[in-house]
Amino acid sequence: MVDVNQIYDKIPEYDHNLPDYDEYYNKLIIGISLLLIIPSLYYLYRNSAYLLDVTPKETVITVEKEFSTNENDVFPEISSCGGFIPYLRKLHEDQGDLVSSKLPYPNTISVVDPMIMKATLQIGDRPINLFKFLEPFLGNDNLQIHDSKRAAKFRKLVGSSFGHDVLVAKYPILRDIVVEFIEKWENMVMKDKNTVFKMQEQCLEFSLRTTLNVVISIDEKNLDVNTYKKSYDAVLIGLFDKQFGKLDTLREEEFQEGINFMKSLTCKLIDQRRKELNKTNSEGETKVKDLFDILVSENDPHTGKPFTDEAITNYISGYIMAGYHTTGVAIPYTLFALSQNHDVQVKLHEEIDKTLEGRLPTFDDLSNMEYLTQVVKESLRVHPPGSFFARLLKSETILPTMSESKDLRIQADTTILYPIPLYHENPKFFPQPEKFDPTRFSQDKIKDIEPNTYCPFGSGARICPAERFSLMDIKMVVCLILQKFNVELAMKPEDLIKEERFANMPKNDVLIKLELRS
């Protein structure tokens, strides 16, 4: 048995002559506390009048549940303004950063306010009625109208299909497509130096081909791209016009024939790729998965079952539609900007020549050329392909605004429109917004750009999933064109008129002359 008393006897007695560390510690804590408290009390004393005079933020009721505007009154005015964005520009000039009346959609507001955008970044719901016109082509259960949870699960599943590994793997094929165009243009210029190129027409063809390769890895030998593009354009124009009741009986029939042809062709492409994928799997080859690979090999996270052929067709069509226009429009706008800013074009030539020394650009080269990136980003600011993006607030919400004295109370089931060009051209966000200045995006200046004001690909939970692919595509084409040519505008600058379709497209194309560099 252990004798406790023997243990106690072995413990040395406490020496009262040793320093009292607890007392020193307590005095130290008291001293530090006084150093912190006294300045705080002094601050409160000097600012008490100001601190006591606090005015609570005013709450503004902006949209009533039943708010609506007669479409018959609004659409003629939109047309007379030259499109929806010019119309919104006029409304914002009259009503300020928040527009809550005279809009063509019920229960809708338009805002140019980075505070509101920031507060709604994680909202992933979209107004179904706004995208209902896409149903004839993308089906009545398409990605554009998925609710936030379903969209988030789907994006998580397919997100890697536009990631770094896929783009690196497909880059050589995409670059070869650009080189094919460059060589064709070079031969035409050598035969006739006064050749004028319709750059939007050329770049849309290029964009369709690269998008098809990234989304579904097509074998172009089995596809007549020009016929495919012609049918695709007819369908997209028909979709856009149909929502405004502009299709007569004949055009309606042609539109339906176009949709049937496109769906049939897309199904054939899917069957072709499924056979190729099965062959690859049987041979034990490993490869990165593109969008199509994921859709045919994974389960739909919404149902837990394999994607139906109809769903695969609709998803593929939706992604092709989005990627096709963004890049195809952005490239000619960038060439237009370079033609109007000779100093920028010279500086970009210098960076390309110094980096490449005559060789073709690698994937990493495009990332490493900082001025090229700045030029493309500034072009997307001045000439954003997208018109607006939208979010649906399903419940009553109070949002902060740029105004220090006002909050914004949003009624349930309200749609918020974010007009992209109006953010990019606002002098409060971008000084001298009309000036093409790539250095806004230089390392030392980009920090001055207010968050949530630059949004060419949308923002937040539903930002364009192919943003990285689009930027790479634009930089690749611009780089290869500038490596070989000087760019000159072959039309009057004032003749560049933007027309709203699925993108802000040059109505009269962008006419460019290419001069071979010595």
Tokens representing residue 367 in the block: 């990332």
Taking alpha carbons only, the member of 367, 336, 341, 326 closest to residue 465 is 326
Taking alpha carbons only, the member of 479, 215, 217, 219 closest to residue 338 is 479
Q: How far apart are CA 36 and CA 443, in angstroms?
A: 38
Q: How far apart are CA 155 and CA 458, in angstroms?
A: 15
Of all helices (H) and strands (E), which one includes residue 372?
helix 370-382
455 is known to lie in a ligand binding site? no
309-340 vs 199-216: helix crossing angle, rounded to 10:
140
Check residue 163 and report its DSSP letter. S
Check residue 436 and report its DSSP letter. -
What is the torsion angle, in degrees rounded to the nearest 10, for the CA atoms of residue 26, residue 27, residue 28 and residue 31? 130
Secondary-structure percent of the chain, ordered helix, strand, coil, rounded to 5 = 60, 10, 30
Concatenated DSSP letters of 219-239 = -GGG--HHHHHHHHHHHHHHH
What is the torsion angle, in degrees rounded to the nearest 10, for the CA atoms of residue 223, residue 225, residue 226 and residue 232? 100
Backbone angles phi, psi at 514, to 5 degrees: -110, 125
> What single letter denotes the amino acid at residue 139?
G
* Count of Cβ atoms closer than 10 Å to residue 111 Cβ: 26
Determine contact, residues 238/250, Cβ cutoff 8 Å: no
SS3 call for 111: strand
Of all helices (H) and strands (E), which one includes residue 439?
none
> What single letter denotes the amino acid at residue 238?
G
Tokens representing residue 471 in the block: 């930027």
* Count of Cβ atoms closer than 10 Å to residue 303 Cβ: 10
Give the annotated binding-site residues.
464
Give the annotated binding-site residues for heme.
464
